[in-house]
């Protein structure tokens, strides 16, 4: 859960090349086992939107399969490691909430996403079967690659891009 039920400022989520522009937040829904989340546009420093990402705050069984972070880069902007750079910015936000690690998962056939996890400093844990009661299973997914990112509470970035 969120400290004091608050969402934190996101103005610092920039690195000179990209910035994350907050589009909305969502409160958690304990009945559905959903946690609070931030949703961002990934933008170049000049403001051009090149993709999207989100950060889900907290940990539970569903997030082990679905992950704390999701991302997508528009086709015209792929190949520049923008997703890995966005993940590193999201790590900053996760630290604000006292998270000492995040999970990112991807489809085993999505080699670009797996490479993003490696570039962002993830440790591959396993290929996990998706439970039949998970919403990802209903959408046709059967397995995910699970990566763990240990977050240094001192604020240092994890991995290289």
Instruction: Please give the average per-residue pLDDT across 18-29, as a whole number.
Output: 96
149 alpha-carbon distance from chain centroid:
10
Identify the CATH number of the domain in which residue 44 sits: 3.40.630.30
C-beta separation of 151 from 87 below 8 A = no
Instruction: Please give the average per-residue pLDDT across 24-41, as a whole number.
Output: 93
* Residues found in the chain: 161
Tell me what pLDDT residue 159 has: 46
Q: How many Å apart are CA 148 and CA 160, to the nearest integer?
A: 15
CB burial of residue 46 (10 Å; 0-12, 13-18, 19+):
exposed
pLDDT at 6 over 80: yes
Output the pTM of the full model: 0.90
| Domain-located, residue 158 | no
| Domain-located, residue 39 | yes
| Domain-located, residue 155 | no
Over residues 128-153, the pLDDT tens digits come to 999 999 989 999 999 999 999 999 75
Domain that includes residue 24, residue range: 3-150
Other Cβ atoms closer than 10 A to 119: 17
Q: How many Å apart are CA 18 and CA 103, to the nearest integer?
A: 22
Over residues 90-109, the pLDDT tens digits come to 999 999 999 999 999 999 99
| Domain-located, residue 96 | yes
pLDDT at 89 over 90: yes
Angle at 95 between CA 122 and CA 110, to 5 degrees: 30
Tell me what pLDDT residue 31 has: 86
C-beta separation of 73 from 50 below 8 A = yes
| Domain-located, residue 133 | yes
| Domain-located, residue 33 | yes
Tell me what pLDDT residue 33 has: 85
SS3 for 6?
Answer: coil
| Domain-located, residue 146 | yes
Q: How many Å apart are CA 108 and CA 141, to the nearest integer?
A: 10
Q: Which residues contact 47 (CB under 8 A, 6 or more apart)?
A: none
| Domain-located, residue 161 | no
Number of structural domains, the chain? 1
Tell me what pLDDT residue 153 has: 55
């Amino acid at each position: 859960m969120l400290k004091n039920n608050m969402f934190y400022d996101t103005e610092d989520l920039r690195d000179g090349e990209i910035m994350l522009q907050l589009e909305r937040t969502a409160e958690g829904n304990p009945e559905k086992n959903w946690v609070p989340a931030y949703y961002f546009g990934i933008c170049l420093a000049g403001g051009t939107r090149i993709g999207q990402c989100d950060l889900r705050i907290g940990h539970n069984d569903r997030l082990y399969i679905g992950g704390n972070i999701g991302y997508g880069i528009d086709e015209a902007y792929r190949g520049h490691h923008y997703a890995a750079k966005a993940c590193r910015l999201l790590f900053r936000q996760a630290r604000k909430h006292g998270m000492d690690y995040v999970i990112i998962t991807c489809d085993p056939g999505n080699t670009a996403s797996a490479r993003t996890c490696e570039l962002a400093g993830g440790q591959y844990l396993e290929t996990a079967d998706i439970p039949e009661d998970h919403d990802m299973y209903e959408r046709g997914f059967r397995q995910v690659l699970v990566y763990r990112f240990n977050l240094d509470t001192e604020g240092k970035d994890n991995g290289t891009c």
